[in-house]
Chain A
Amino acid sequence: MKSKTIRTWSAIHTWTSLICTLFLLLLAVTGLPLIFHHEIDHLLGDAPQLKVMPADTPRLDLQQLVLKAQAHRPGEVMQYFGWDEDDSNGVVAIMAATAGTEPNSSHTFMLDARTGDAVEMPSANGGFMMVMLRLHVDMFAGLPGKLLLAFMGVLFVVAIVSGVVLYAPFMRRLDFATVRHDKSRRLRWLDLHNLIGIVTLTWALVVGVTGVISALSDLVIAAWRNESLATMVAPYRDTPPLTELAPVSRVLDIAAQAAPGMQPDFIAFPGTRFSSEHHYTVFMKGSTHLTSHLLTPVLIDASDLQVTAVGERPWYMDAMGLSAPLHFGDYGGRPMQILWAALDVLTIIVLGSGLYLWWVRRRSATEAGR
């Protein structure tokens, strides 16, 4: 490689890294507890605990759960019902002042499907883990915050790619995984930076790219509303808003018939951003490991419970669905969580050592210039 080419790549690597490093440190540090959010919730006693009841205790019908939820939070409306992965008797309910209320102003709690008792989920509405999540997702700055972090993610990817290009000239004379411990401190950290950077390459790229996709989720959902959803509900364009909703009791059976072989993931009530003004939308997930991350919407008319449409799955919704596990590292058991945390720590070391190497070289360049 010519020295001019090296200098160009070196400048790209330096500047893309420098701009994104502080944000990436924030993401890596807040991401660490988020990997274990389930376990931390349990430790803090924030995980919802349902009563122990005989295994064959019958469950209430969904409309009864809606009534229980409304009694629990009078004056609010239903936004979503979701199903808990840990306990099939738990139904996660999300309510807010209006159906269109933005997610951060909603209230999330759990309903016991057998009794209709409400169980609070403190960490879904505030507290330490919520602060970590908000810092990680949007730095409490809403959409602009998400877009800024998405841009930092793009810079991170450019920094990784330019780092791989620079790996060659730096490591040409050294065996793989050589760390010169006995020379200067700078050389030791340079070798560690190169070694850790190159071995964590795949993981960092995957987590970086899926993070960018997740950060753009608001835009992805808006695209889905404009294209997919708008076409499906076109016949309803001039229909006045519903004053009364048909009971949701049979909605899951209707969706299961319309999308055979799939399982319900969540119900979006009319007026929320995952549904129209006139529909219950049941998002159905596939029954294999891979397709369980891909959601098919079934739109059910909320006045007469007829199926209006079974949605297509646009590629960008699938990309968003698959980004979640690949970003969270929650799909390969406890060992994967621990490896995810270790790789996160290694990334912090790469970021820190990069900053150190830039600082040392800059200082020696200024001293040489004197």
Chain B
Amino acid sequence: MNWKLFGMPLLIGVLGAAGLFAALLGDGWWDALAWLGLGLPVWYGFRGFFR
């Protein structure tokens, strides 16, 4: 496993999956997990256009 290459994508992917599932289990903090898990890809995705 090449951690330098796949470390961040793996982390983002796992958090995203955890968030998508968590919000199915409840509201409040469970939803917040989904916002974090989906917020990271959105942040990195749009940040790529700047700098």
Total residues of chain A contacting the partner, CB 8 A: 37
Q: Please give the distance in Å from B17's CB to the nearest CB on chain A.
A: 5
Q: Which of B12, B26, B30, B38 contacts A339 (CB 8 A)?
A: B38
How far is it, in angstroms, between the C-alpha of A99 and the C-alpha of B20 when the chains are bound? 37
Residues of B within 8 A of A181 (CB): 51
Are A199 and B2 closer than 8 Å at their CB atoms?
Answer: no
State A339–B16 Cα separation when bound (angstroms): 12
Q: A289-B26, A325-B24 are in contact. Are A172 and B5 (CB under 8 A)?
A: yes
| CB proximity of B12 to chain A, nearest CB, Å | 5
Q: Which of B2, B20, B30, B45 is within 8 Å of A200, CB to CB?
A: B45
A192 neighbours in B (Cβ, 8 Å): 48-49
* Binary flags per residue of A213-242, CB closer than 8 Å to B gives 1, else 0: 000000000000000000000000000000
Which label, helix, strand, loop or mixed, suits the secondary structure of the B interface? helix
B25 pairs with A290, CB closer than 8 A? yes
A168 lies within 8 A of chain B by Cβ: yes
Closest chain A CB from B5 CB (angstroms): 6
For residue A60, CB closer than 8 A to chain B, the reply is no
For the complex, what is the distance from the CA of A177 to the CA of B8, rounded to whole Å? 9
Is the Cβ of A203 less than 8 Å from the Cβ of B9?
no
Shortest distance from the beta carbon of B11 to any chain A beta carbon, whole Å: 10
Inter-subunit contact A293/B9 (CB<8 Å): no
**B5 partner residues in chain A, CB cutoff 8 A:** 167-168, 171-172, 176
Enumerate chain B residues within 8 angstroms of A346, measured Cβ to Cβ. 41-42, 45-46
Residues of B close to A322: CB separation below 8 A: 24
**Chain B residues with a Cβ closer than 8 Å to the other chain, count:** 35
Stretch at the interface among A42-50, A329-337, A361-369: A329-337
Give A198 Cβ to nearest chain B Cβ, in Å: 5
| A342-B46 contact, Cβ under 8 Å, with A176-B8, A201-B9, A203-B16 | yes
Decide if A336 touches B48 in the complex (CB within 8 Å): no
> Using a CB-CB cutoff of 8 Å, which residues 1-36 of chain B contact chain A?
2, 4-9, 12-14, 16-17, 20, 23-27, 30-31, 34-35
Cβ-defined contact, B42 with A289, below 8 A: no
Q: Which of B23, B45, B48 contacts A331, CB < 8 Å?
A: B23
**CA gap between A362 and B47 in the complex, in Å:** 29
CA distance A332 to B38 in the complex (A): 11
A326 and B38 alpha carbons, distance in the complex (Å): 13
Residues on the B chain within 8 Å of A195, using CB? 44-45, 48
Find the B residue at minimum CB distance from A171: B5
A289 in complex: contacting residue of B16, B20, B25, B34, CB < 8 Å: B25
Residues on B with beta carbons closer than 8 Å to the beta carbon of A201: 9, 13, 16
Residues of B within 8 A of A168 (CB): 2, 5-6
Q: Mark A244-286, 1 if CB is under 8 A from B, else 0.
A: 0000000000000000000000000000000000000000000
Asked whether B31 lies within 8 Å of A332 as measured between CB atoms, the reply is yes
Q: Known contacts A203-B41, A340-B38; is A198 also within 8 Å of B9 by CB? A: yes
13 CB < 8 A contacts A-B: A176-B7, A176-B9, A181-B51, A196-B48, A200-B45, A202-B13, A289-B25, A289-B30, A339-B39, A342-B46, A343-B41, A343-B42, A346-B46
Q: A168-B6, A346-B45 are in contact. List 16 more A-B contacts (CB 8 A).
A: A168-B2, A171-B5, A177-B44, A191-B48, A192-B48, A199-B45, A201-B13, A201-B16, A202-B16, A206-B20, A289-B24, A336-B35, A339-B35, A342-B46, A343-B38, A346-B46
The 10 nearest A-B residue pairs measured at CB: A202-B16, A332-B23, A199-B41, A339-B38, A176-B8, A346-B45, A342-B42, A332-B31, A332-B34, A196-B45
Residues of A that sit less than 8 Å from B by CB: 167-168, 171-172, 175-177, 179, 181, 191-192, 195-196, 198-203, 206, 289-290, 293, 322, 325-326, 331-333, 335-336, 339-340, 342-343, 346, 349
